[in-house]
């Protein structure tokens, strides 16, 4: 006896096996194993099919409902008539443009920036001045703008037909007033 421990031989616990279940009278091991394998394989196939098919079928149903709603709303909208902007005026003709004054950039009164292209008008560059408001623009910019609409690009002053039909004002003779 060493240090108070008894030396007894070790015996493992007994191994108990489960008791077999009673077998039916017409038991055939070949057919039972095959039938259970087919049944479990069939169950697995059904599970995989349902796992893949049901989400696809559900998404397809949602998509079909969405398409039907789009078709319904597109075909049952009340017809909205948008106001059509009528073209009531045209721009100036080339003969009317020639009657407008041409000046150089240094003769402009209200600044040397072209409001159409936002570039500066050089001092020796030819510019067109709109009569009445005296705004100046590059010759090409003014002609392009005024052929589309007969208004000043800056202040929207209308260029009346009187400007083109009236004779030029008489030259004043050394009047100091």
Judge whether 141 and 116 are in contact, CB under 8 Å. Answer: yes
Give tens-digit pLDDT for 62-87.
Answer: 999 999 999 998 888 777 777 766 65
- The predicted-structure confidence for 107-151, as pLDDT tens digits, reads as follows 877 778 888 888 888 888 888 888 878 888 888 888 888 888 888
Q: How do residues 151-167 score in pLDDT, each as one tens digit?
A: 888 888 887 766 655 55
- The tens digit of pLDDT for each residue in 55-68 reads 899 999 999 999 99
pLDDT at site 146: 83
Which residues partner with 116 through β-bridges? none
The pTM score is 0.43
* Torsion angles phi and psi, residue 157, rounded to 5: -70, 135
- Reply yes or no on whether the pLDDT at 172 is more than 60: no
* Mean pLDDT value of segment 42-57: 86
- The pLDDT assigned to 131 comes to 80
Cross-strand pairs, 120? 113
User: How much is the pLDDT for 69?
Assistant: 93
């Amino acid at each position: 006896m060493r240090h108070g421990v008894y030396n007894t031989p070790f015996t493992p616990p007994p191994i108990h096996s489960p008791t077999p279940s009673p077998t039916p009278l017409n038991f055939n091991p070949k057919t039972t194993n095959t039938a259970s394998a087919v049944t479990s394989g069939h169950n697995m196939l059904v599970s995989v099919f349902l796992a893949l098919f049901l989400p696809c079928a559900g998404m397809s149903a949602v998509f079909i409902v969405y398409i039907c709603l789009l078709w319904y709303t597109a075909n049952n909208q009340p017809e909205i008539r948008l106001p059509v902007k009528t073209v009531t005026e045209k721009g100036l003709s080339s003969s009317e443009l020639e009657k407008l004054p041409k000046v150089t950039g240094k003769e402009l009164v209200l600044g040397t920036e072209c409001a159409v292209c936002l570039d500066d008008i050089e001092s020796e560059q030819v510019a067109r001045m709109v009569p009445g408001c005296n705004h100046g623009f590059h010759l090409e910019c003014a002609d392009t703008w005024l052929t589309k609409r007969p208004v000043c690009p800056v202040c929207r002053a209308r260029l009346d037909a009187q400007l083109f039909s009236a004779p030029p004002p008489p030259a004043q003779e050394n009047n100091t007033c």
